[in-house]
Chains A and B, each alone.
Chain A
């Protein structure tokens, strides 16, 4: 079985400040890792994904994430956030044995002016 834990349900941050959204996973097999964003009243949109290779993954809108196998983490970072980054962020995992995504419970990023 696989699971995803997002340690922070809400993260308030001021505009132009850096942010890190934490994600830890558990799985007995090799995994693929994803971050999705859900803007208010919109569907889920892929931010970035880790499949293999370089552990630092760059995504859209200036976001990046680092895969750390020893710590089973895949934290999402952005060096300077904008008001428009206010949204719900979901970490998700799949594996060769389970094609469906297992999601964390989400982190609400609230960017304040």
Chain B
């Protein structure tokens, strides 16, 4: 198993550009999420999904869109990049217990370092 993969590893954008950060997992996990990591702020949840076709907002969703058309993939779209979106982005997945609850550990991808000029 490759686990959770993210592409690209690094990206530089200009203000106003759009792009998609890719995330895929091959563990058949129902739950997937996107976090951003900024100095002194820990990991902040952007969006998450409890299964294909279902997404919801986290703590800091503004400026980002997600979709979940398959169990495996959970792309994060930046609609119009801003310098405030310079960050390291982590995707994570977790198995879902029946009934919609999960207290299983999250498996993190390697991260994407994004700089917006």
Q: Do A and B bind each other?
A: no
A residues near B, CB below 8 A? none
